[in-house]
Every structure is written in structure tokens, then in C-alpha cells.
Amino acid sequence: MLQATPLTEGWTLRHEGDALPAAVPGCVHTDLLAAGVIPDPFLGRNETEVAWVGRRDWTYERELPATNGHEQADLVFDGLDTVAEILLDGRVLGRTRNMHRAHRFDVTGLSGRLSVRFVSAYAEAEAVRGKVGERPGAYAEPFQYLRKMACSFGWDWGPTLVTAGMWRPVRLERWSTARIARVRPVVTVEDGLGRVELAVEVERTRVEAPLVVEARVGGERARAEIDGTAGTVRLQVPRPRLWWPRGYGEQPLYDVELTLLHEDRELDVWRRRIGFRTVELDRRADEHGSGFTLVVNGERLFARGVNWIPDDPFPSRITRERYRERLRQAAGAGVDLVRVWGGGIYESEDFYDACDELGLLVWQDFPFACAAYPEEQPLRGEVEAEARENVVRLMPHPSLVLWNGNNENLWGFRDWGWEPRLAGDSWGEGYYLGVLPRVVAELDPTRPYTAGSPWSGSWEHHPNDPAHGTHHSWDVWNREDYAEYRATVPRFVAEFGWQAPPAYATLRRALPGGELAADSPGMLHHQKADDGNGKLRRGLERHFAFPEGDFDRWHYLTQVNQARAVAAGIEHWRSHWPRCAGTVVWQLNDCWPVTSWAAIDGDGREKPLYHELRRVYADRLLTLRGRALVVVNQAAEEWTGAVRLRRMSVEGAVIGEAEVGFRAGRRAVAEVAVARELEPVGAKEFLVADADGLRAVHFPAPDRDIPYPRPEFDVSVAPGAVTVTARTLVRDLLLQADRLDPEARADRGLVTLLPGERVTIGVSGWRTPDPDAVRSALFCMEPHR
């Protein structure tokens, strides 16, 4: 039987002649941090103090344990970041140049001092650039010249921390006769029958040995012979329970076990979990253009999505528990689709396992983003090899429903001035329209592939044409008011978003000492977007009087603006289902403390946007659009009822009201006309719609023009709860629980109360309830100062 020995202990890292203890999996930065050689790059402006790390070469060393006792011994690296030379007592075993692949080296009968030497990623990228020529990109750093996590080189939300190291497990595998090299599971469902086809490849030490594979799944068993180094075993599971996205059904998973046998002696075992479901991507043309609708088990979906970035600049620090916490947060916000963005990595099995269990659909980008990528060697061969490895590695996961060729590169070629600069040089089109669709079609024919995001489906249309395929909406954040989201109805919005700073306690930890200010050196260092603070200011000034010199008010208003902006887009686009078939918010998470588009900040704290997503991504939603109330019902049951419409003054008087019945079918949208006499007029009036505990509020004027009354409310405090009772209109009330205690969390975000209404906010992690502290942690709209 194959024996695997983890090689996690006993490593050292060479630094200026010294040998520092090293953790594997890990990276140079985390080892230097643990040894006290570098400061925490997340704090203050320390990021710049550690930039030298990415410019150095590094060596890891340890003794290789005995390799005897079997016919073959392999040294296996699941992930080397990135350009490495592997030596044993000075003898070169091999070289690597791809972070996204595993590597295996024959060490049969060998022993001695094992060294893994990493070349600076900068040096390698610059060498490749010198060989293949300059290629344009959205950022100056040379990430497109090597197969490494692009955002290691910084992004408009991330630090520049160029890593090196053994970022995934290392082990010694010893085996005899044969081992399982690869299993490619093709899982299909047809006419109530689940089919599992396991294509098996083996590696042998003895060519003549007869081999058999035996597989089992769902109580069914099957056997097949191995002809040379390959074979296929097929199983059928009658009436399998279908795997569904969250909100559409359950997520049953089936254990699959495949055993390699020689004369009934077990040689190796492969185990995974699978789910039975079908997935299609409907891109048919219609009167609006051409669609982009995911269909799972025959059910057409409006995808309620978020974009996912690597949750840490040092991915080896992301534990199974951390993946699950972050993805449970996503599910708790009503999310049913997570897009793994192309500037990051193929995530670990822990990520996809959690998505399988939580019913989160996964849209997986291949790792290409925001640059022209050379198609010459040494990159081309690495791209195909990594694609083949990772497609097969991730195939068992029912949550994975879409392969995407790249992020914004087709768009960049057309609109960002790349085409004339390239002058005919390769830029990645051959990957996105050639290599990658061929690999997916050959290895994973059950899943759809799209060439990029955004992508209109062909060069006949602009790559970012909202009427065709996927669309990225960034003109709004960069240049316009978020009201402009309502000007178009894209077929599928794969990226859009609005910035806000992280939670107060996160900023306090990241920027210790002194007073916080929006334009302080520390705050500006933790704002990576081009003119980010300028865009935040202009976005505020369209709606509010800018709070000059008042950091607390600036912090609150930017959080409000972020939540309102994203909600404006989602409410509008959901109201146009099925023409628009999905929104994927940029972004769910942050990898460090930073002002960004995230709903969950770099310390894992939920911003008001997170709670707003819970509202606008719920199965049922009310939204006011022009002279209509739109009733959005994504539930499996019909929704019927009556909506109470009230035209009100900001002083709290009801100017007019009506009760109107509605009926929205399952997974459908319905409209209710708003009578003209209920339409609010001027800045002193607003419209409220209530039905089944849900509310929509429409103020026709920007906040800066609304004569809000001075908010008056009563506050009562009990263990784990804060209750606020309004005596006036209280708009966008927010309890920033982390101001009470860094560990405290509130269970809701922004809430608008009419006079006489109350809300109870659950608060966890609050050690010493203090009514006076609660008052200072509550924010809402106030009269202009």
C-alpha cells in the first residue's frame, strides 16, 4: 500500500547566513514574521518596509528521510511558489516555474540534505519579459510573465507582498508495483439515473503486473481492468438524490472510493465526494440580445453572487476553519454563487468542500487578470499543464458550475489601448479561445466554459456589451452616481461595486496611535485604488454635505453610500429577471485592512454592505421603481398578499395611504402600480411600502436636500441586545458594535424607523454592556450642520 509521510517539520530558511525555523506549508514572509525579522506588513505603512523580501532569492533545507522499503519513492510538492530548484546533496532533482501546479520527483534509493532554492519572482518575470517582449497591463508590476498569484504584486485593494515558499503540503510517497496517478470523474444524471465514469491513470514499476480497479459509490460497486497505464470503471446509481444550490433544495453528497488492486492486494486508494446534478449555461439570442443564464437541474437561476479574492496575501495561512467561516458568512448574506476571481489562485480543496456543503455555486476563473499574457514558451506549456491538472482536481465538486477563461483581458484588448501597443504580439487570446476551451471540452464536458468576464460571446459584439453575455459595470464607481445603475439592464452583471473603509476596530488595529483622518498617511496607504478617496468624496457629495474634518461622520456616511449603491444596482437588476440573470458583487472579502469594495473587511468584520446584501439577496424583495412597486419572488412558492403604501412627510405625518394586493409566481417578478396621489413630492416627502415584514423606502431627493428632523429615540440595553425606539423619523440607523468592543458583532446593519417603531439589535461578543457607550456607537441621518 502506498505510504505517504508528510514533510512538515525540520525545515530551515537561510537568511543572511543564519538558519531560521521554517513552517511548511508557509512562505518566506510568514517565516520572517515568526522569527521577528520583519514587522507585520498589515500595520501602518510596514508594507513598504518589507518590499525587499520579494527581491531576494531564498533557500529552504532539511534532511530527506529514508526512502527504502518500497520499489519507488517520490518527493511530492503540492505547491511551490514559484520558481524553484530542488536539490539533494547538491544534485539537481528538478526545476519548477508554476505556483498553480503540483510537482513530483523520483528519489528512489536517495537520501541526504534536501534544498529548495527559490529565485525572486521579480527576477524570473523580468527575465521572461526580456525573452518574449513587453506586454501591457493594468498595473506596472510584471505579474503576467510567470504563473503566480497575480495579486501578490499588489492590486487596487491589495498590498504588494511578493511571496516565495512551499505554500502547499510536501510529502514523501513510497510505493510498489503501481500507484494511482490521476482519476477523472465524469458525473452525469439522466432519466433518474446517476452515472459515474472514473477514468483512471496509473504509474507502474512493473509493467507485467495485472491491475484491477474497484470503485464504489452510493452502495453500488464495479470493477475494471487496467490496460497498460489506463482504465475506466463505470457505475450507475438508481434514483440519486440531486444536489441543489442553497435555497433550491438540499446538498446530498456521495462518497466515492476507488481502490487499485494487484492480485487482491491493495496498492492505492482515491477518495472524494461527489454530487449528482446537471448544469447548463443558456446563451440563446432573444429580443434583448443574448442571455447568460445558469440552469441547474432544469431550474433557471437568478445568480446572487459575490466575487472572491484570496483571503490572505499569504494563502498558506488560510485554514479550513477560516474558509468555512468566510463562506458561511457568504451564505448568511443570501449569496448562492461565488466567483473565484482570476487574479488569485485555484483554491484549496477546503474551499470547494465548504461550497459543496453550503450549496454555494462556484464560478472558477482560470488565473489570468487585467493584462496581456504572452503565449510563447516557457509560459504556454505551463498554462496547459496547470489547466489540465486543476480541471481534473476540481471535477468532483458539484458546486463548481462554470469555467471562465480570464478576468477583463478580452475587454482590455479592445478598450484599454492594448491592440496598437501589441502590434500583433500574442496577448492571451489563444489561451481563452483555444487552449482552455479545448482542455475543458476534453476533460470536463459536463460543465460550461466562457472565454472571459466580461465577454459578449464573440467578437461580433463589444466584449463588455451589456446586451450580450457578461458585463462589468465600473463607469458608475469611477465616474458617475450610483443612480446610473438603473439606466441599463445587462444580461448578467459579473462585476460592480462601491468602496467604503473597513470597520472602526479594524482601522484602529491597522493604524495604531493618533487620531484617525480620512486623508492621513496611514489611511491613504491603506487605500490602493486610483484616486480612491477622491471617488469616495465625489460619491458622497452627490448625496450629502461633505463632513469636513469629522472622521466618524465620514466613516459612517461612506459606509451608508456603499450599501445604498450596491443595493440600488441589485434591486434594479433583480426587478428585471429573467432578462437579467445575475449579479456578482465586487467583492465579498478583503485580504488585509483596507478601504475597498468588500462587504467583509480584512479582519473578518461585516460592513453595513454585508447586512444590506442579506436584504437585497433574500428570496423575497420589495423595491420601488418609478411609479411601480416591484415584487421579487425567488422562492419556490407563489407569493400573494397585500402591500401597504404610505406617502409620508419627514415630520412623520401620513399624507396618503393605500393597500394593494399582489401576486408573484414562484421564481418570478410582479409589478404593483403606485397611484399618482401616493407619489412623494419635493424633499420633505417619501414613500414607504410594507408587506410580510419587508419594507421598501423611496426618498425622491438627495439627503443633502432633505430637511431631516433632529433624530430622537430611546435606547435600552439588555445582555446581548440593544433596543432603539424612535420618536421621530430615524433614517439609516447603524450600531457600530465594534466601537463597543473589538470582539462585538451586531446582527443587522442599516435600518430606517418611522415614529413609534422600534428595533432590537442582537449584539454578540460584548463583554461589558454600557448604555452610555451604546449612544456613542449609534449613527443615523441628521439635519445638515
pLDDT tens, residue by residue, 521-561: 999 999 999 999 999 999 999 999 999 999 999 999 999 99
Under a CB-based contact definition with an 8 Å cutoff, are residues 450 and 291 in contact? no
Residue 640 C-alpha cell reads as: 400573494
Average pLDDT over residues 20-37: 97
> What's the pLDDT score for residue 746?
97
Convert the pLDDT of each residue in 244-279 to its tens digit: 999 999 999 999 999 999 998 999 999 999 999 999
- Asked if domains 177-274 and 708-785 share a fold, the reply is yes
Does 325 participate in catalysis according to the annotation? no
Asked whether the predicted pLDDT for residue 729 surpasses 70, the reply is yes
Rounded to whole angstroms, the Cα distance separating 662 from 268 reads 61
The CATH code of domain 708-785 reads 2.60.40
Q: How far is CA 319 from CA 16, 22, 79, 133, 474, in A?
A: 31, 18, 16, 39, 33
Please list, in sequence order, all residues whose beta carbon lies within 8 angstroms of the beta carbon of residue 34, skipping any fewer than 6 positions away.
Answer: 21, 23
Asked whether the predicted pLDDT for residue 785 surpasses 80, the reply is no
Identify the three-state secondary structure at position 718.
strand
Rounded to whole angstroms, the Cα distance separating 687 from 624 reads 9
Convert the pLDDT of each residue in 650-665 to its tens digit: 999 999 999 999 999 9
End-to-end CA distance of the chain: 76
Burial class (CB in 10 A: 0-12, 13-18, 19+), 483: middle
pLDDT band per the 50, 70, 90 thresholds, residue 732: very high
Residue 13 C-alpha cell reads as: 530558511
Kindly state the DSSP code that residue 281 receives in the 8-state scheme. E
* 3-173 to CATH, choices 3.40.50.300, 2.60.120.260, 2.70.210.12, 1.10.287.3510: 2.60.120.260
Helix then strand count (H, E) for the chain reads 17, 46
Under a CB-based contact definition with an 8 Å cutoff, are residues 146 and 97 in contact? yes
Query: 382, 408, 429, 495: which one is catalytic?
Result: 408
Percent share of the chain, pLDDT over 90: 96
> What's the pLDDT score for residue 631?
97
Rounded to whole angstroms, the Cα distance separating 438 from 424 reads 23
Convert the pLDDT of each residue in 198-239 to its tens digit: 999 999 999 889 999 999 999 999 999 999 999 999 999 999
Which class does domain 283-625 fall in? alpha beta
> What's the pLDDT score for residue 742?
95
Listed as own residue / partner, the contacts of 17-25 with beta carbons closer than 8 Å and 24 or more positions apart are: 19/61, 22/60, 23/316, 24/60, 24/165, 24/166, 24/169, 24/170, 25/79, 25/165, 25/166, 25/167, 25/168, 25/169, 25/170, 25/316
Q: Quick one: which H or E segment has residue 86?
A: strand 83-88
Pick from 423-437, 494-508, 511-525, 745-759: least confident: 511-525
Tell me the CATH architecture of domain 177-274.
Sandwich (2.60)
Kindly state the DSSP code that residue 587 receives in the 8-state scheme. -
Average pLDDT over residues 746-756: 97
| Dihedrals phi, psi of 205, to nearest 5 degrees | -105, -25
Asked whether the predicted pLDDT for residue 157 surpasses 70, the reply is yes
Q: What residue segments make up the domains of the chain, in order of their start?
A: 3-173, 177-274, 283-625, 708-785
Rounded to whole angstroms, the Cα distance separating 747 from 631 reads 25
Average pLDDT over residues 35-63: 97
* Mean of pLDDT over the chain: 96
